[in-house]
Amino acid sequence: MKRTALLLAALLLSSAVHAQSYPNRSVRVIIPWPPGQATDLAARLVGEKLSQQLGQPFVMENKPGAGGSIGTDAVAKAAPDGYTLLAASSGPISIMPNLQKTPYEPLRDLAPVSLIATVPFALVVAPSFPAQNAKEFLALVRANPGKYTFASSGTGATAHMFAELFNSMAQIKALHVPYKGSVPALTDVIGGQVAYAIETVAATGSHIKSGKLKTFGVTTARPSAGLPDVPTLADAAEIPGYDCAAWVGYAAPAGTPRDILARLAVEIQKAMQSADLKERYIPLGMDLASNSPDEMGAYMKREQARYAQIIKNAGIKIEQ
């Protein structure tokens, strides 16, 4: 018994020393999207802070393709030593595995580290749309089932998911019109060809502020830092429990030592306390977020289950 206790103490001491010495060389962060995309921007901003705090470079490597699955798979198959991380996000982690076969299983093949951002969305219509608030909007659409259309950046995209969930919880029926990206989708909402869309604050914010779009609320439980005067749809439309945001986080290959994951999470939490990071997030339409590896793991599990339910209820399918 005494020998076992001594061995456990030695292992704990070794683990603590290991965490304190990490990192002792550069850390590669694979971003499974092109430069300039939300995941890329958030990962780079946080990577800058981690480099400053830990004294080693966090080198960003863009590896886009196949909706984020190529870069995600590369990390899932990397050595679990803490020197290859993933800029993880809801698309390839929470949504895609529910829609098609992927070469990785997120909950099995990846070790969560921490969230680094949430991405709120906003319900928008053209200025000429006859409703003046969320309640009037719902009354009008409910009174005309199937008459109104909603745009999204593509079938199975996060915007599509959030709109389908909103329609279901609000008990409205509208026709989905998918586009190849948020820009053409919002262009047609502005022009009145499509009635409404639920798109990111990053994509809608400038149009709302310029008067090209009007909004009835944001999708998160709390107002967004990017649109602080806009109410939540949960309150404005009286839909308790409607709380949606895309997410961005850091993850590692499964099997990465827990002490390394914990150290990274603590450093990310420290980075999130800096005022300058918050200010840099606001124009990008993102809100600060951080949590522990266990909390992020539970969050990923809930998100994957929620999207599975949305997809099932709405009968969403994409061409393979």
Tens of pLDDT along 140-197? 999 999 999 999 999 999 999 999 999 999 999 999 999 999 999 999 999 999 999 9
Q: What phi-psi label fits residue 315: left (phi over 0), alpha (psi between -120 and 50 degrees) or beta?
A: left
In the chain, CATH 3.40.190.10 covers 121-236
**What is the model's pLDDT at position 14?**
44
Distance CA(197)–CA(208), nearest Å, equals 13
Whole-number average pLDDT of the chain: 93
Contact of 186 with 123, CB cutoff 8 Å? no
Residue 10: band (very low, low, confident or very high) from pLDDT cuts 50, 70, 90:
very low
Report helix, strand or coil for 80. coil
**pLDDT over threshold 50, residue 129:** yes
What is residue 289's predicted lDDT score, i.e. its pLDDT?
96
pTM score of the predicted model: 0.90
Q: Residue 115 in contact with residue 276, Cβ under 8 Å?
A: no
pLDDT value at 6 more than 50: no
Task: Please give the residue that has the higher pLDDT: either 318 or 152.
Answer: 152
Does 64 score more than 60 pLDDT?
yes
| CATH number corresponding to 27-118+246-314 | 3.40.190.150
pLDDT for residue 18: 54
Distance CA(320)–CA(310), nearest Å, equals: 19
Model confidence band, residue 320 (pLDDT cutoffs 50, 70, 90): low
Using alpha carbons, select from 254, 250, 232 the residue that is nearest to residue 241. Answer: 232
Q: Report the pLDDT value the prediction gives residue 318, as an integer from 0 to 100.
A: 83
Structure tokens of 211? 């008067």
> What pLDDT shows up at residue 1?
40
What integer pLDDT is reported at residue 260 of this predicted model?
98
Would you state the structure tokens that stand for residue 20, as one six-digit string?
Answer: 């304190």
What pLDDT score does 12 carry? 42
Q: What is the structure's pLDDT at 95?
A: 96
CA dist 138 and 144 (Å) reads 10
> In this predicted model, what pLDDT tens digit does every residue of 242-274 receive, in sequence order?
999 999 999 999 999 999 999 999 999 999 999
Cα dist. 120→82, 218, 244 in Å?
30, 7, 7
* pLDDT at residue 307 is higher than 50: yes
Q: What is the dotted CATH code of the domain comprising 121-236?
A: 3.40.190.10
Residue 208 vs residues 43, 68, 217: alpha-carbon distances, Å: 27, 29, 11
Q: Specify whether the CB–CB gap between 215 and 207 falls below 8 A.
A: no
Residue 147, strand partner residues: none
What's the CA gap between 83 and 80, in Å, rounded? Answer: 8
From residue 43, give the alpha-carbon distance in Å to each of 67, 110, 246. Answer: 17, 17, 14
- Percentage of residues in the chain having pLDDT higher than 90: 92
| Mean pLDDT of the 114-136 span | 97
Summarize pLDDT for 214-237 with one digit per residue, the tens. Answer: 999 999 999 999 999 999 999 999
Please choose, from the candidates 285, 134, 287, 129, the residue with its C-alpha nearest in 3D space to the C-alpha of residue 204: 285
Q: What is the pLDDT of residue 7?
A: 38
Query: How, if at all, do strands 246-253 and 214-218 pair?
Result: unpaired
- Quick one: pLDDT at residue 8? 34
Q: Which of 128, 24, 82 is nearest to 256 (CA)?
A: 82
pLDDT of residue 299: 98
The confidence score (pLDDT) of residue 20 equals 75
Residue 16 pLDDT > 80, yes or no?
no
| pLDDT surpassing 60 at residue 300 | yes
Domain with CATH 3.40.190.150 in the chain: 27-118+246-314
- Summarize the chain as % helix, strand, coil (round to 5): 50, 20, 35
Q: What percentage of the chain exceeds 70 in pLDDT?
A: 93
Q: Is the pLDDT of residue 112 over 80?
A: yes
Q: In what order do the strands lie in the sheet with 84-89?
A: 58-62, 27-31, 84-89, 246-253, 110-119, 287-288
| Degrees to nearest 5, angle at CA 66 with 292 and 124 | 70
